[in-house]
């Protein structure tokens, strides 16, 4: 009995070391541009205003988040290789169609390769703007409160540019709709 308890303790210790090392490495990588990220994170936490950013869309055109000022924004950080990201997208497509006329705008920010994103978007029939951008998109994600690099990660912003909610992990249609409806 004592040997199995010792084995369990050793295994738990090894798992703890592995997890700690993984997150320490990701943290160092994500904070490569310390001043920009710190400034944007301070802005977000101080007054909850969404940080400004620009990223290219799938056609390579640079898009500014300010293009959608005056709308309720749902900014979703995702990747084609992320199963929960893929699972929640049909709900986002449906909500965009349902509430677009009332001022709702989804924006997908893909942390992935443009050709893979284009194939996925074409297959699924995504009609809302999809932006792409490797390291720059990661920095935007961090500026919007995603300190751990979770995917999917969704931020809901009201018509006055205030960040209302930040959600790590999959967001169901019912959860998203509940948070969005009263902002329209």
Strands 130-132 and 72-78: what pairing?
unpaired
Tell me, yes or no, whether 132 lies in a domain.
Answer: yes
pLDDT of residue 42: 42
Q: Rounded to whole angstroms, how far apart are CA atoms 28 and 152? A: 20
Distance CA 97, CA 111 (A): 24
Question: Residue 26 falls within a domain, yes or no?
Answer: no
Q: In this structure, is residue 9 part of a structural domain?
A: no
pLDDT along the chain (184 residues), means of 10: 58 49 40 37 59 97 97 98 97 98 98 95 96 94 95 97 96 96 96
Identify the CATH number of the domain in which residue 118 sits. Answer: 3.40.30.10
The pLDDT value given to residue 23: 44
Structural domain including 110 reads: 31-181
User: Residue 92's pLDDT is what?
Assistant: 98
Q: What is the pLDDT of residue 48?
A: 87
Q: Could you tell me if residue 22 is inside a domain?
A: no
User: Rounded to an integer, what distance in angstroms lies between the CA atom of residue 75 and that of residue 53?
Assistant: 12
How many folded domains does the chain comprise?
1
Give the SS3 label for residue 108.
strand
Counting every residue, how long is the chain? 184
Give SS3 for 167.
strand
């Amino acid at each position: 009995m004592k040997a199995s308890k010792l084995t369990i303790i050793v295994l738990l210790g090894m798992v703890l070391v592995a997890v700690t090392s993984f997150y320490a490495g990701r943290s160092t990588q994500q904070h490569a541009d310390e001043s920009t990220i710190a400034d944007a994170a301070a802005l977000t936490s101080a007054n909850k205003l969404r940080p400004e950013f620009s990223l290219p869309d799938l056609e390579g055109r640079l898009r500014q988040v300010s293009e959608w000022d005056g709308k309720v924004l749902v900014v979703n950080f995702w990747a084609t290789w992320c199963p929960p990201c893929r699972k929640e997208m049909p709900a986002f497509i449906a909500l965009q169609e349902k509430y677009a006329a009332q001022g709702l705008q989804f924006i997908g920010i893909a942390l992935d390769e443009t050709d893979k994103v284009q194939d996925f978007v074409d297959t699924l029939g995504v009609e809302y703007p999809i932006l792409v951008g490797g390291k720059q998109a990661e920095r935007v994600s961090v500026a919007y409160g995603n300190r751990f690099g979770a995917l999917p990660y969704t931020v809901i912003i009201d018509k006055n540019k205030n960040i209302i909610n930040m959600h790590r992990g999959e967001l169901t249609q019912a959860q998203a709709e509940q948070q969005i409806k009263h902002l329209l």
